[in-house]
Chains A and B, each alone.
Chain A
């Protein structure tokens, strides 16, 4: 326990990095994933194809490989920025594909009569999607999106191997310095992740309860 309290400032700084990774890539993937889902159900075939290709390629690629492609591949073709931004990019590219699939299945779960009624009123595709279908899809989509965000929290740990000094990186450094304190260090860092997961899961529960309507 001594080790944990002695290194508390470093651990907190590392966890702050994890939180930044999570919040940034989470927010961008939610937006990007919803856009991708809109592309996959829209009337323009080219956009449908582009959305489907993104999802099918990225979902079948290990996240580590996405990290390798972004962090080491992009500099090879002349794109350079910080490791942190590369990590956010890799996590976003990956998570957006899953968000897209969740939102799309939410769109498909909306009663077809709703979209048909909107069409009968003369609404365009965009009005139909943004005013009628997406708001109703939002309800069913909260639990799967929460699962995706929990997976994202856990995935931020991969950035450890790609130059980002986040919680897991700090953990391996501390374990190398204090090999005999393996268990408390591991338990402390795991508790940190659990706390983040609990916050996301609880907020999802609250949002879900807020959005539920009696039918």
Chain B
């Protein structure tokens, strides 16, 4: 909190702040009152708009939507981590024939809209993915195929793949920043005792970089979790889509929107709190600058 911008308030400043506060409060109160009046006027507080949420069927549908969101998010984050590490390794390789294509790949997927990637994979290959999912479904035990969501593979796969490509490209940059933040002496010492460049990356640089990157990676996981809502566009049954199914049949968009938003905000704030806890813990070991550098490598979305 930058308290430096104004002096500790004296009597006159306190009075001004009180007046300003009163005006601001009045303005906000007026806005809130208008919204509540509109909500009331259009009958949003009526019991029958909220009654569906006492229905176990609706609650179960919301839980399934949350499950579908978390399934897509965790799959995308895991795959993106894998891809990100591979891309970062490729981009910091000494071989130019490898470095250049990888750099182009990363920049392409960082600049392309995720929606466009999703549409491309969905419009072009949804039937193939659905067939593949059905095929896997036949051979997998019931429980496994439910957890993997093989029944919705036609929409799940485009969503997860698009998110993997985008987040993998972002995580590649985070990993690269993390590796640059590891003191150079570490890599030099590792080379001096005769490790190959691959061993240096895998055994010395990466494990130390992970500590620096962890907060940035958790923040990126929040971004990926939010982006799973793009599955809405191709009718993947995640939380927002389920919300739409509910309000289309019960005509209660406002209550549904309030409940779905609350779920997302709670979930993401918990994750963000976790990221901050991690950042605090890591800052005991590494400079805050290194961690901040790794965090800014991730674009805001």
Contact = CB atoms under 8 A, between A and B. Distances in A.
Given A68-B244, A175-B124, A154 B6 contact: no
Interface stretch (A4-12, A73-81, A203-211): A73-81
B4 A116 contact: yes
Contact of B21 (A45, A157, A197): A45
A138 to B, nearest CB: 16
Interface residues of B, number: 58
Given A73-B254, A151-B299, A190 B4 contact: no
A60 B268 contact: yes
A61 B261 contact: yes
Given A61-B226, A168-B119, A144 B300 contact: yes
Nearest to A111: B4
Given A44-B20, A65-B260, A150 B113 contact: no
B120 interface: yes
Contact of A197 (B17, B38, B111): B111
Contacts of A193: 111-113, 116
A84 interface: no
B209 interface: no
B229 interface: yes
B253 A72 contact: yes
The A contact surface, by secondary structure, is helix
A41 B229 contact: no
Contacts of A17: none
A156 B111 CA distance: 13
B261 to A, nearest CB: 6
A59 B260 CA distance: 15
Nearest to A198: B111
Contacts of B9: 43
B269 A56 contact: yes
Interface in A140-186: 144, 147-148, 150-151, 153-158, 160-161, 168, 171-172, 175-176, 179, 182, 186
B113 A182 contact: no
A153 B269 CA distance: 26
A11 B28 CA distance: 43
Interface residues of A, number: 65
B41 A78 contact: yes
B70 interface: no
B116 A60 contact: no
A28 interface: no
A76 B24 contact: no
Contacts of B232: 64, 68, 161
Given A41-B5, A60-B269, A65-B264, A150 B116 contact: no
Contacts of A190: 108, 112, 116
B264 A189 contact: no
A179 B127 CA distance: 13
A119 interface: yes
Interface in B222-240: 222, 226-230, 232-233, 240
Contact of B264 (A62, A98, A102): A62
B113 A78 contact: no
Interface in B74-115: 108, 111-115
A50 interface: yes
B265 interface: yes
A83 interface: no
Interface in A12-33: none
A171 B269 contact: no
Interface string A87-113: 000000000001001100001100010
B4 A115 contact: yes
A150 B107 CA distance: 12
A136 B232 CA distance: 42
B260 A76 contact: no
A69 interface: yes
A7 to B, nearest CB: 16
A108 B240 contact: no
A3 interface: no
Contacts of A73: 253-254, 257
Contacts of A176: 123
17 contacts: A41-B2, A43-B20, A46-B25, A62-B264, A68-B243, A69-B261, A98-B300, A125-B6, A128-B5, A150-B299, A157-B115, A157-B116, A161-B233, A175-B123, A175-B124, A179-B124, A193-B113
